[in-house]
């Protein structure tokens, strides 16, 4: 009975603490606030190095230090020599040739990836002109394989797919005006693939009047 009394007496403070945390999150400040363009180098577990570029929309704060970003990016790269060798070995296993004197050469295979992502970034201001941030998010990848030797084959079909990924970011923004410089490291993990990229870009912050107009329009459009 004594233990039950202690637990029941502790329940209201715990509930109030949880409510205080949830009150930090709000949709009221979600509106387009900035647009970012970036370009960088990408490394992957199955591909050679590539150049990647993207565009990202800062959609405002969902909590005092947490902002939401919507992104779209693209890269195209060749499969590594090790991956090509594995492809060719799989094809050899499908061929029934008693003499075993055949060769398999799939040539160069490219993989293109169009990625849409949603990130939540925890913002840590370091002063008036410098801001660092940590982010986690999810992404959707539309991937397309191509190559002179595989076009129209089962191998191309196997490389054309849609996959989901998990994102992690670490970056810094430098600038106090409308324009700022961004430097970001990004890692993505998928079920059969992983990438890491280092990107630099520019971000343009919209005028407050623009954000206010968007907010007022959303308020007028909201049903009573």
What CATH number should be reported for the domain holding residue 189? 2.40.160.20
Determine, yes or no, domain membership for 147.
Answer: yes
pLDDT at 220: 54
pLDDT at 87: 83
Determine, yes or no, domain membership for 11.
Answer: no
Query: What confidence category does residue 184 fall into, taking pLDDT thresholds of 50, 70 and 90?
Result: very high
Determine, yes or no, domain membership for 44.
Answer: yes
Q: Which two tokens stand for residue 155?
A: 């191998």
Q: Which two tokens stand for residue 191?
A: 């079920």
Interatomic CA distance for residues 49 and 56, integer angstroms: 22
Determine, yes or no, domain membership for 99.
Answer: no
Determine, yes or no, domain membership for 158.
Answer: yes
Determine, yes or no, domain membership for 48.
Answer: yes
Scored b (16 or more CB within 10 A) or e, 68-89 reads bbebebebebbbeeebbeebee
pLDDT higher than 70, residue 195: yes
Q: Report CA 60 to chain centroid distance, whole Å.
A: 17
**DSSP assigned state of 174:** E
Interatomic CA distance for residues 153 and 15, integer angstroms: 59
Distance of CA 41 to CAs 49, 65, 75, 80, Å?
7, 29, 10, 16
Please state the φ and ψ torsions of residue 65, each to the nearest 5 degrees: -120, 15
Share of the chain above pLDDT 70, in %: 80
How many domains, in total, are found in the chain? 1
Q: Which two tokens stand for residue 81?
A: 């020599």
**DSSP assigned state of 163:** E
Please state the φ and ψ torsions of residue 26, each to the nearest 5 degrees: -155, 150
Distance of CA 200 to CAs 101, 179, 213, Å?
50, 13, 30
Q: Phi-psi bin for 115: left (phi > 0), alpha (psi -120 to 50), beta?
A: beta
pLDDT, tens digit, 9 for 90 and up, residues 81-140: 998 888 888 877 777 777 767 778 888 999 999 999 999 999 998 888 999 999 999 999
pLDDT higher than 80, residue 34: yes
Query: What confidence category does residue 202 fall into, taking pLDDT thresholds of 50, 70 and 90?
Result: very high
Question: What global pTM score does this model have?
Answer: 0.77
pLDDT at 14: 44
Determine, yes or no, domain membership for 57.
Answer: yes
What range does the domain containing 189 cover?
A: 34-67+106-224
Interatomic CA distance for residues 27 and 39, integer angstroms: 30
Determine, yes or no, domain membership for 42.
Answer: yes
């Amino acid at each position: 009975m004594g233990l039950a009394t202690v637990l029941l007496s502790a329940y209201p403070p715990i509930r109030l603490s949880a409510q205080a945390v949830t009150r930090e999150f709000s949709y009221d400040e979600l509106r387009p606030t900035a647009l970012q363009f970036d370009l960088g180098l990408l490394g992957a577990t199955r591909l050679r190095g590539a150049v990647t570029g993207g565009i990202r929309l800062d959609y405002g704060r969902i909590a005092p230090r947490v902002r939401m970003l919507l992104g779209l990016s693209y890269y195209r790269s060749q499969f590594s020599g090790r991956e090509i060798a594995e492809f060719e070995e799989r094809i050899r296993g499908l061929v029934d040739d008693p003499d075993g004197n055949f060769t398999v050469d799939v040539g160069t295979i490219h993989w293109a990836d169009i990625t849409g992502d949603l990130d939540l970034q925890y913002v840590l201001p370091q002063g008036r002109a410098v801001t660092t941030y940590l982010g986690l998010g999810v992404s959707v990848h539309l991937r397309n394989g191509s190559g002179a030797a595989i076009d129209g084959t089962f191998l191309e079909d196997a490389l054309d797919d849609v996959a989901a990924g998990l994102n992690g970011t670490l970056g810094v923004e430098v600038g106090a005006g409308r324009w700022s410089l961004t430097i970001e490291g990004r890692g993505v993990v998928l079920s059969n693939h992983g990438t890491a990229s280092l990107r630099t870009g520019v971000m343009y912050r919209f005028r407050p009047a623009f954000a206010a107009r968007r907010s007022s329009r959303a308020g007028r459009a909201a049903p009573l």
